[in-house]
Amino acid sequence: MASVPSVPLYYNRHRETSLQGGDMNGTAIENFICVIYNVSFMNCTWHVSRTAPGDTQYFLYWKSSRKEDFIGCQNYVKDNCGRHTGCRFQNVTIKNKSAYFLVNGSGQNIQSYKNMIALYKIEKLTPPLNVTVNCTGLSHSCEIKWQPPRTSHVKRNTCFKYQVVIEKKADPEKGIKDTSKMETNITGNSYIFDSFNAEKRYSIKIRATDNGCLVSKNWGEWSTPVEFGGEQLMSTSSYVLLLVSGLAASIVFFLCAVNIYLKIVPARVLQPKDPFHEIAPVNFQVCFPSICLKFVVNEDPLQFQRYDLSVREMCRSTIFFFLLLVY
């Protein structure tokens, strides 16, 4: 039965480079690859040796600096024969430039695999965050903004450059059958798309890579596509028209209320009241969508009826004017 090796007590510092232990007997693992993703997760995989005995088991150890002790894998990936072919790590941080990996095999005469890897080079960058698009139909342009991808070791925004892909989508309902794609590489966290057509539909996605820092030179993951244009867009002229309509409606209602107040509440001279012949005051209330006016009128019922008809006619005229303004 194959024995399980303990955590190694030594590491040949003269051979801390990417190697596979020479060509002694070819029993070391092959195709060792590690990838850091989602900021702090790392997967390492390898192929078992074709010349090693079938019951050979492999064990992975790693450390993130020379001064630290090796740590054994706690979450192995196995093949159909139960042999270790990979390992999953969590809470990985890119503190130093390089990490050291060692894979030992069980049994005698099994060659060890040693490798030194710069962790930032194997990181798969996350997508850029918070992609937003703000378009105006009058200027035929869109301002696109985003935030840098998350990493455990890079704090400067200038460490990234981005690839922006904008695709014009087909729309059979509007008779738009052709599609086109525009790609551009830029630095910074914003981009002006100046070929915008409000009647067409677009989608945008962005990914990041290194811009001269300790960042992987491989392109990172794409952001989730963001669609814009078409029916979801309201042009600047529409916003202006809506704002003017709202202001005009407010002014009309205000003038209507003032007219009602001036017509219904005339100036009066205070005189002694006759308790036997004085008609009791009539309380009534005029309401609008945002204001209610309450008045007390010392008039006879017939006069109040005439005022009531006048109020209704004025309000009908106001509503009719507002509808004409909007449409």
| Residue 301 pLDDT greater than 60, yes or no | no
Mean pLDDT, to the nearest integer, of 291-314? 49
Measured in residues, the chain has a length of 327
Residue pLDDT, tens place only, 170-188? 766 655 555 678 899 999 9
pLDDT band at 67 (very low <50, low <70, confident <90, very high): confident
Which CATH number is associated with domain 129-232? 2.60.40.10
Cβ neighbour number for residue 199 with a 10 Å cutoff: 12
Q: Quick: pLDDT tens for 193-221.
A: 988 888 888 999 999 999 999 899 999 99
Q: Parallel, antiparallel, or unpaired: how do β-strands 282-287 and 226-229 relate?
A: unpaired
pLDDT tens, residue by residue, 117-135: 999 999 999 999 999 999 8
What's the rounded mean pLDDT across residues 17-21? 38
pLDDT at residue number 312: 56
Tell me how many degrees the CA angle 127-132-134 measures, rounded to the nearest 5. 155
pTM above 0.75, yes or no: no
Q: What pLDDT does 14 receive? A: 30
Contact 233, 135 (CB under 8 A): yes
pLDDT tens per residue, range 96-116: 678 999 999 987 788 899 999
Residue 260 has what pLDDT? 65
Average pLDDT over residues 39-48: 94
Query: Encoding tokens for residue 144?
Result: 């696109």
122: how many CB neighbours lie within 10 A of its CB?
Answer: 19
Query: What's the mean per-residue pLDDT of the chain?
Result: 76
Domain with CATH 2.60.40.10 in the chain: 13-122, 129-232
C-alpha pair distances (Å), 158 with each of 37, 110, 209: 21, 47, 11
Give the H or E element holding residue 99: strand 99-105
**Class of domain 13-122 as given by CATH:** mainly beta
CA distance 244 to 258: 21
* Residue among 5, 30, 10, 11 at smallest CA distance from 20: 30
